[in-house]
Amino acid sequence: MELWSSPLWYAAYLLVLIGLAGYGAHRLTIVYLYLRHARRRPEPARRFAELPLVTIQLPVFNELHVVDRLLESVAALDYPQDKLQIQVLDDSTDETTAICEAGVARLVERGFDAQLIHRVDRTGFKAGALEHGTRQAKGEFLFILDADFVPNPDVLQRTIHYFADDKIGMIQTRWGHLNRTFNVLTRIQAMFLDGHLELEQTARNRSGRFFTFNGTAGIWRKGCIADAGGWEHDTLTEDMDLSYRAQLKGWRFIFLNDVETPAELPVDMDGFKSQQHRWTKGSIQVCKKVLPAIWRSRVPLHVKLEATAHLTSNFAYLLLICLCFLIYPNQHAAPDFGPLTYYIVNVPIFFFASVSVIVFYLTSQKALRPGSWWKEIPYLPLLLALGIGMSVNNAKAVLEAIFNHQSAFVRTPKYGIDQTRKTDWRKSSYKAIKSITPLVELLFGFFFLFVVLEAALDGRWSSAILLLPFPVGFFYTSTASIARMLPGPKVEKPRID
């Protein structure tokens, strides 16, 4: 027991909780900014007398299940056909290329200016494909859509006129979710993304802070991209990188939270993990790259502070992993400062570290689903648990970024699932990359199951209840990944018309 008796354990535990509470306080700041500024919807300064030419860029890599759906939705856009150029930027190494060829041929037959641009290598990954396509783009405005997106027909009509102001460099629309209710994981993911897209993006944009392109479902002015230095390949989140560089150059961005562009959420845990790993690692890479330039710039202090909180937010996963190692010693050797000190210290920390998460996501649900937001309340404990369970995967991504470990742009498999079409995605030939992460998560799950049971047997019921999301989260993320590694149904081959 002497091992746990050092007050250093408690000091470290307290510092980690204070760090997590700091990021929780930032969430509450976002909620405040959202409630204060959400009604300040931007309006176009004027409208184009003649609609400009728009190049639609569709970066694709091994997306055989969804590329046809994407092309059909683009063909249905309510925009003059002679004002559209469609680029399929294909880096695929499987049957997707043949599907793209057939789809582009159908578009050309229907009178569209469509072309397939196939690269034989993936230099720069998605950023490289966009850079390559932009050199051949005819339009001054570039509408970028990932393969799993299905734009609404009126999206260009509702966005393009904002570019009549020459200072506007990018318009971002809000992602919708085609398969929100497919399973528990998609329900929780939708809540995660709703919090980011509805609250964070709206609050930052309308309060004059920096906000970033989400990589898809947005329109860029080609001149803005060039002025900011173009697409660069040195991070996994080229969208965030370019966004900060452009805004530091003085370009203005607009986020339209009432213009929804639906997309498909990953339906399996490994797809979700690969996506989160890429986003987390990329954001830390961008943090290292652009944060010094932000602090050297002449933007107001409050803008610098918010950008710092945004770019460093994923360091919270390192704090969460540290917390996992400090909880057990604290359970056994926390100094007794008396009940008054206990509540003065612990209640504020708990509020900012945990309650802030609940307030944040409930606010986003109430904004987006005013008549049914309460139906999402049962998923909040699972959202908290999943956030904890993802800490191993995402902390690994943070460390890789810190120590400059290079890795490829790993795509997130999508299967063409929406509310009307629910395919058996387990038969897909797309499989996740195997790693030891699920085994580490499983060990954490058993460890915290022991911690919770010990607390319950000792009569410390409040501790047992508060710690319950830890084993639930780690068991969920680990077993869902391990199950995906097991042999599945026979693989389906795609049909190419």
Q: Which helix (H) or strand (E) holds 221?
A: strand 218-221
According to the model, what pLDDT value does residue 182 have?
93
How many whole angstroms separate alpha carbon 78 and alpha carbon 119? Answer: 30
Residue 334 is predicted with a pLDDT of 65
**Residues of the chain below pLDDT 50:** 1, 491, 494, 496-497
268 domain residue, yes or no = yes
pLDDT the model gives residue 117? 97
The count of structural domains within the chain is 1
pTM as predicted: 0.92
Active site residues: 91, 239
For residue 463, tell me if it sits in a domain. no
The rounded distance, in Å, linking the Cα atoms of 494 and 492 is: 6
In a domain, 124, yes or no: yes
Residue 200 DSSP class: I
Confirm if 163 and 141 have CB atoms less than 8 A apart: yes
Number of Cβ within 10 Å of residue 167's Cβ equals 11
Q: What is the CA radius of gyration of the chain?
A: 24
Residues counted in the chain: 497
Give the pLDDT of residue 299: 96
Structural domain that includes position 117: 1-39+52-434
Domain of residue 149, CATH code: 3.90.550.10
User: Looking at residue 407, what is its pLDDT?
Assistant: 76
Virtual torsion, Cα 134, 135, 140, 145, nearest 10 deg: -10
**Residues 183-206, buried b or exposed e (16+ Cβ, 10 A)?**
eebbbbbbbbbbbebbbbbbbbbb
- What is the rounded CA–CA span in Å between residue 287 and residue 477? 27
Q: What pLDDT, on a 0 to 100 scale, did the predictor assign at position 426?
A: 58
Examine residue 491 and state whether it is found in any structural domain, yes or no. Answer: no
Q: Examine residue 246 and state whether it is found in any structural domain, yes or no.
A: yes
The rounded Cα 309 to chain-centroid distance in angstroms is: 16
Q: Is residue 365 part of a domain?
A: yes
The answer to whether residue 440 sits within a structural domain is no
Does residue 497 fall inside a structural domain? no
DSSP string, 91-152: --SSTHHHHHHHHHHHHHHTT-EEEEEE-SS-TTHHHHHHHHHHTT--SSEEEE--TTB---
The token duo for 436 is: 């030891």
The confidence score (pLDDT) of residue 427 equals 58
Query: Residue 338: its pLDDT value, please?
Result: 62
